Amino acid sequence: MISFKSFVIAIHEAIISATDTLMDKNVGLLDKYFIETPKDEKNVDAGAVNTINTLVPKSVILEYPHLTTDGTVENLEVSVPLITLVPLSMSQIEKATLTADFDIEIVDDELQLNFTNRNTNGGLFKKKRETSRAQLKITITPQDTSEGLKLLVEGYEAILKRQIS
């Protein structure tokens, strides 16, 4: 037996853990599309130099055809941040539904759940199994991209446009 309260807390913590895992995956976009580089920053007040890490976009150089003023085509080298080339998709848990068979009773003024074992027949020559039935449905949906990330990508896209215009 398990107390109803403990059961609800365990399910809640499992859903929070799953949500945290999705958030970690979403934050992983930074690792996928940016490189961390050390940058020295001088602290004017203390006169010291502190090294902080800066994220620099992973980029590739592409040759892009460009029409010159005399009508010929020449290739320009264009620095393209990878984050501008891919659709950004993030996920979130929208809904979790748990269905379970259990007996319920009050023991010492506390609601208790007993996940009753059900005998299932495995066939003529198979041993009967003791099982409890439960069903978990989790709906994972796309999450809207944050305004900060949208602005960041739009800024890189604007720089890219200026290079090829």
Beta strand pairing call for 134-143 and 90-100: antiparallel
pLDDT tens, position by position, 47-73: 677 888 899 999 999 999 988 889 999
Point out the residues of the chain with pLDDT beneath 70: 43-47, 117-136
Report DSSP letters for 77-115, one per residue: EEEEEGGGTS---EEEEEEEEEEE--EEEEETTEEEEE-
The structure's pTM equals 0.58
pLDDT tens, position by position, 115-135: 776 555 555 565 554 555 666
For the chain, give every domain's residue range. Answer: 2-164
